[in-house]
A = this chain, B = another copy of it.
């Protein structure tokens, strides 16, 4: 036991250092004093769960917000009739659930793990405490929320003016490297097609038909989760001419 305790302490210390450096990189805690980030690290709880784990439900009272260390989480709404609308899919380094501090401490959406995910749970009360103390947190949130508002505006725009193949085109272009527009690109879809369809506001059958159209129109080939794009330049023209943003926007 004399041997294991120091070893255990050593591993604890290195885990804490990892956690502090991870928290420092999160937009919410940018430019805060070291002691504040350390306090967040001390009070956070690390967890790991498999696909299918429901983290919280829309309307539930909120005690924690979440930081994804590694994995993927689906944020969604469910209608009274039971239809699910996928609001977003978050991954490594993303946080979610923090906005409940402006909504009477209740979650405005549900969250479910969609692949094995390591995450930190951080007390909302701690965020509230430091928000009163450091104006920087409010400024960090404002910067992020104004960007998110633009992303949502673009999403509404696309749902209004783009057809299904164009919306899939936009999704694929965001996964492409920026460097060589004329070279062919091979991609792995980040999550399953049913979820991508839901995220883009399509029924699975619309999604399949749209992929077929993308194959006919610009030769995109799909094999399982692998996508082959012969020319991102053609895909950009096909998609981004039907968008108000500048070409090769990434968010």
A149 on the B face (CB < 8 A): yes
Assuming the A-B contacts A99-B149, A143-B102, are A80 and B161 also in contact, with contact meaning beta carbons closer than 8 angstroms in the complex?
no
A35 on the B face (CB < 8 A): no
A241 on the B face (CB < 8 A): yes
Min distance, Cβ A189 to any Cβ of chain B, angstroms: 19
Q: How far is the CA of A201 from the CA of B163 in the complex (A)?
A: 12
Q: How many copies does the complex hold?
A: 2
A156 on the B face (CB < 8 A): yes
| Residue of B whose beta carbon sits closest to that of A132 | B135
- Majority SS of interface residues in chain A? helix
Q: How far is the CA of A141 from the CA of B135 in the complex (A)?
A: 13
Min distance, Cβ A156 to any Cβ of chain B, angstroms: 6
- Contact status A243-B79, CB under 8 Å: yes
A78 on the B face (CB < 8 A): yes
- Contact status B78-A244, CB under 8 Å: yes
| Residue of B whose beta carbon sits closest to that of A151 | B152
- Contact status A80-B243, CB under 8 Å: yes
A145 on the B face (CB < 8 A): yes
A228 on the B face (CB < 8 A): no
A218 on the B face (CB < 8 A): no
Residue numbers in B under 8 Å from A148 (CB-CB)? 149
Interface-facing stretch out of A11-19, A62-70, A81-89, A113-121: A81-89
CB-CB contacts below 8 Å: A110-155 with B: 135, 138-139, 141-143, 145-150, 152-155
A215 on the B face (CB < 8 A): no
- Contact status B153-A108, CB under 8 Å: yes
Partner of A103, one of B78, B146, B156: B146
Q: How far is the CA of A150 from the CA of B107 in the complex (A)?
A: 11
Assuming the A-B contacts A80-B241, A149-B145, are A159 and B161 also in contact, with contact meaning beta carbons closer than 8 angstroms in the complex?
no
Known: A77-B244, A78-B244, A85-B156. 9 other contacts (CB 8 A): A79-B243, A79-B244, A80-B240, A80-B242, A83-B161, A87-B156, A108-B153, A135-B135, A138-B142
21 A-B pairs within 8 Å (CB atoms) are namely: A77-B153, A77-B157, A79-B161, A79-B241, A79-B242, A79-B244, A80-B240, A80-B244, A81-B242, A83-B161, A85-B156, A99-B149, A102-B146, A103-B150, A108-B150, A109-B153, A135-B138, A142-B142, A145-B149, A149-B149, A156-B201
